[in-house]
Amino acid sequence: MTSSFPPRLGETLVEAWVPVQDDGTTMENVSPRYVNFASVLDPQTRAQNLKTASMPLIYPHLASMPDAHLGKGAAVGSVIPTLGAIIPAAVGVDIGCGMIAVRTQFSVGDLERLDRKILRQSIERAIPLSAGHNNKRIVDSAEPRVERLAREADSAGFDPASYSKQWALQLGSLGSGNHFIEVSLDENDDVWLFLHSGSRGVGNKIAQRHIRVALEQCRKRNITLPDNDLAYLTEGDDEFEEYIRQLRWAQDFALLNREEMMDRVIHCVTQWAGRAVQERERINCHHNYTAQETHYGKQVWLSRKGAIDASEGRPGLIPGSMGTASYVVEGLGFAPSLNSAPHGAGREYSRSAARRTFTRDQLRQAMRGIEYRDTDAFIDEIPAAYKDIDVVMEDARDLVRVRHTLRQIVNVKGD
């Protein structure tokens, strides 16, 4: 029995529309509509991906990245193409989260006599860290970005203050968890500035609201879902259009948030080194977002929840965990991955499990040679709580080409 195409929302799909064949790559066909690139994948995450892939609006298939792990509704490290609808929880609650990196003119020899602790502390003063910590005022560098976002919100027909009264003060703040700011060296000992953050509290609240609205819409239509967090909004409905407008705003907020923080880091490095930073290259990429793309002959809403765009020739960033390597990459445009690649190492231990398992001394050992704030707060970010980034990158060998391998010398994080 073959279902109609395109599938009706709420219909059970029996066959895949596009079969994907194994061809000696790292790809595993778990089911006709679920392609996996992770050699290390726990049973719960595999089951979660199968559940998501069973939804009739998925076309042509869900792609699970090498760093995939359990998430809300849909697994983190998933690439989820949908026809005529979007699953807000499949975008994630940190809309637009991603990475930015700048290659400078400095080499390690330019910095070896300088005290890295002074730089770390300077960055910690310049950028608010941790959840709930915002700027006290809108600084000069942030002002034009805030004005741009205010105009975009007005065009999108909403007031960001309805989600967070202090949204403008959140621009240029890091957050907590696995968000970080780093100074790193590549294989040539060239100095890179590297950071990870998203749309902060305002983006989270936008996401949470539309996840609730999607569930309300599915209940009104008596649609049976495999998981309530897989509720979707249907293209053409007012609720869908409102979500898209606010989603795009939050994605731009996240991108500008990273740009603002990077400019402040550059200022700190300039003062520390006594010479102005010259940018040789800048890469800024999302890894929690939705975009309209064409795959296997159809235009879809492609949600990358913990994945980067790895279209052919596209530059990207794949960070390791705290204390391990990160990578500057170039996409290979591998079609079965939906032109996507992993966004990092991916957790193996939950935060609570990591705190029960590892110690501060083990974290100190893992961070030997790296300037960082030595505190119990970062035990759950220890590299051993994450997948081995070398394994992740080997699994991604058909998805990206490595341009540079980075090793940290300074790390800044929020509690």
Active-site residues, by number, are: 343
Query: With the C-alpha atoms ordered 57, 60, 61, 66, is the resulting torsion angle positive or negative?
Result: negative
Looking at this protein, which amino acid is placed at residue 130? Answer: S
From CA 92, how far away is CA 72, in angstroms rounded?
Answer: 8
Helix (H) / strand (E) containing 361:
helix 360-366
From CA 290, how far away is CA 366, in angstroms rounded?
Answer: 35
The string over 105-117, giving b where at least 16 C-beta atoms fall within 10 Å of a residue's C-beta and e elsewhere, is ebeeeebeeeebe
Looking at this protein, which amino acid is placed at residue 377? Answer: A
φ, ψ at 318 (rounded to 5°): -130, 105
From CA 305, how far away is CA 288, in angstroms rounded?
Answer: 5
Query: With the C-alpha atoms ordered 287, 324, 369, 330, is the resulting torsion angle positive or negative?
Result: negative
DSSP labels, 241-276: HHHHHHHHHHHHHHHHHHHHHHHHHHHHHHHHHTS-
State the first-to-last Cα distance of the chain, in angstroms, to the nearest integer: 54
C-beta of residue 343 within 8 angstroms of C-beta of residue 306: yes
CA atoms in the 13 A half-sphere facing the CB of 106: 23
CA atoms in the 13 A half-sphere facing the CB of 8: 8
From CA 340, how far away is CA 395, in angstroms rounded?
Answer: 13
Strand partners, 196: 99, 180
Contact residues for 222 (Cβ-Cβ < 8 A; gap 6+): none
Q: What share of the chain is helix, strand, coil (3-state, %, to 5)?
A: 35, 25, 40
Residue with tokens 């991603």: 98
Count the Cβ atoms, other than its own, within 10 Å of residue 366. 17
